[in-house]
Amino acid sequence: MFNLLKLFFVIGLLFAICGCLGYRGAGGDTAVQPHLVAEAAQPSELLNVNSVLILPFNFAESARSVEGQAELFYSELSTAAMESLSIKVFDDKGLFKNTKWATSADNLRNGMQIAKKIGADAVVFTTLNSFVEREGSRLGAERPAQISFNMDLLRVSDQKSIWHASYFFRDQAVTENLLRVPQRIEDSAKPGWHAGWREADKILAEGLRSALTNLSLSREEQFS
């Protein structure tokens, strides 16, 4: 019992220190930055978007090593869109049966043509910049998972980006950043998650839902 009390005292002391000095582990800033940054240049333009076509991922040079998972990532993106957006979503992979996956120019050009054909108002175009799998055991990691992507809502009529989001997340274990202990414990209750290290695919799924939820809320705010 005495040892348990000492443990709580040490954790409390560390929380106090972190709260006063800010987090600096692994080169971090003193302030914890948001993982998602999103904005619409002219939010009112979102009012005219009532349907979207979800395009296959574009892979930046730094993420070419995971091109082979393009269809799996597309399924994850489509699921996130169906769950997060309150407008009509076109996400049938059959639409892209004659499209070469994972090439930016082809995906966007063919995607726009398909969007016009099916009557979609806009397309969701996502570029994966980084997908780093975690290396290590359940309790430790030589290399933490890292995810980074950009997402644009492109209007079909003129291909203008009317909403943009960028997402970055590099995982940290509980012991690396005690300020996030409550969130990690909450996350550990989710299927496939635990309070220690996260897997890259789980982080990507969370990021996609976060971005698309922001898009949905940004559009809904224009009706108030």
Q: Do 176 and 140 have their domain in common?
A: yes
One domain for residues 185 and 215 = yes
23/73 same-domain check: no
Q: Select the more confidently predicted residue: 107 or 212.
A: 212
64 and 159, same domain (yes or no): yes
**With 0-12 CB in 10 A as exposed, 13-18 as middle and 19+ as buried, what is 3?**
exposed
- List of residues 6+ apart from 218 with CB closer than 8 A: 38, 40, 43, 46, 163
The total domain count for the chain is: 2
Asked if residue 126 and residue 179 are part of one domain, the reply reads yes
- Among 6-10, 60-64, 141-145, where is mean pLDDT lowest? 6-10
The residue among 180 and 113 whose pLDDT is bigger is 113
* pLDDT tens for each residue of 63-90: 999 988 888 999 999 999 999 999 999 9
24 and 39 part of one domain:
no
Q: Are residues 22 and 41 in the same domain?
A: no
Domain coverage including residue 164: 34-223
Residues 74, 19 share a domain:
no
- Percent of the chain scoring above 90 in pLDDT: 46
Same domain, 39 and 24: no
Question: What are 35-45's pLDDT values in tens digits?
Answer: 899 999 999 99
User: Do residues 184 and 110 share a domain?
Assistant: yes
CA angle, corner 82, sides to 145 and 206, nearest 5?
20
Instruction: Determine the pLDDT at residue 68.
Output: 87
